[in-house]
Structure 1
Amino acid sequence: MARSQDMFDAIVMAEERFHGEGYREGYEEGSSMGVVEGRRYGTLHGAKIGSEIGCYRGFALVWKCLLHRCPAEKDSKKVKVLDSLLGMIQKFPYDDPTYDKLHEDLDRIRGKFKQLCSLLNVQPDFKIPAEGSVLSF
């Protein structure tokens, strides 16, 4: 009688057992896929931010060289804003993706870049297409 009781228990409990096994397998699969997808997403957006910051830095360094050649511009507001932008870029936390003020600092850099463009009377058109960044004037 005990053996027939075990068979019936196995049949009755099969649905619950299979449900639990399916849940565990799905959870493991989803977790590993989530890690892969998260890495891909982080790499893509990190590259976009790095490209944008790199364009700002290159822009600022070129203008710094140009402005230092003009004796009248050495102490101007343009140079001060330019130095401020370069300082903000220098302090940007490239190596810390968990930095809680990353987006706030990035917005400040964008604002300082716009201020500099306004002072220089330059109209930037910054776009990030799929194949890379483009900064045109």
Structure 2
Amino acid sequence: MADFDLESLIHVEQSFYDAGYADGFAHGRIHGLIEGRALGREKGFEIWEELGFYEGFARTWRALLVKQGRGDDRASQHIRQILSTIAQFPRINPSQATTSSESSTNLPLNDADFDIMKLLRQIRSRYKVLCAALGVRPRLRAADVGDAEDAGVEMDADEEMNGVASQRVAPGSSIPVWKLDSAGAKKPVTNQDLSF
């Protein structure tokens, strides 16, 4: 009985807690990195898909305006602004860039004040201004609305802007029908139609 330390029994619960905490922390760190990378890839793809849409939209309209000989009007200035803002968007992760070839981009890599979401909001607002200058309705859709369109659900312009999809069915039938405008003409785009 002289070898047995009674004092160690007092702290046995705390020692088990500490060992479990250390194991759980190490395990959580590994899974947190894996889940964080997966979520980062998913959200990064969504952002780049949106930016690709804006850039393609601007480049297409720029080509159309140049072909029409309207390369110096207000819409062309908005196109140049949106394309230059998209060009400022970082194409690498600034916190992981270490080589000199990666630091040749236009992004200051050590700038801790760089705000990606602020730049994305600026691009979105420039897109809305460009659409207003062109007289085109801005197409702002959520991902679930695109899935509804793929499933064959018809939406009118107001539902598409609000991200709400409702299927219209003819009375006494299960076949969806399209909504017809009374005059067959589009509504003119006004500033009240834009949601900021």
TM (norm. structure 2) is: 0.60
Give matches, 1:1-137, under 5 Å: 1-4=1-4, 6=5, 8-71=6-69, 73-96=70-93, 100-129=114-143
Give the RMSD, CA atoms, in angstroms. 2.6
Q: 1:48–1:128: 8 Å Cα contact kept in structure 2?
A: no
| Structure 2 residue matching 1:3: 3-state secondary structure | coil
Of structures 1 and 2, the one scoring higher in RCO (CA 8 A, sep 6+) is 1
How many angstroms apart in 2 are the aligned matches of 1:112 and 1:56?
A: 10
What is the TM-score when the length of structure 1 is the normalising length?
Answer: 0.84
Return the structure number with greater strand share: 1
Q: Which runs of 5+ in 1 are unaligned?
A: none
Q: Is the 8 A contact 1:89 1:109 kept in 2?
A: yes
Helix, strand or coil for the counterpart of 2:49? Answer: helix
Higher helix share: 1
Task: Could you list the structure 1 runs, at least 4 aligned residues long, displaced by more than 6 angstroms after superposition.
Answer: none
Describe the shift of the 1:101–1:129 C-alpha distance in structure 2 as closer, same or farther (beyond 3 A). Answer: same
Q: Tell me how far apart the structure 2 counterparts of residues 123 and 75 of structure 1 sit (CA, whole Å).
A: 22
TM-aligned CA deviation for residue 38 of structure 1: 1.2
What whole-Å deviation, never above 9, does each CA across 1:81-101 have from its counterpart, x for those lacking one?
111111111121121365632
Contact persistence 2:62–2:71 (CA under 8 A): no
Residue 10 of structure 1 deviates from its aligned partner by 4.1
SS at match of 1:126: coil
2:131 touches 2:137 (CA, 8 Å); kept in 1? yes
State the Cα deviation string for residues 62-120 of structure 1 (Å, max 9, x = none): 1111000112x121011111111111111211213656321111111111110000011
Amino acid in the other structure paired with 2:116: L
Write the distance in 1 (CA, Å) between the matches of 2:52 and 2:88: 13
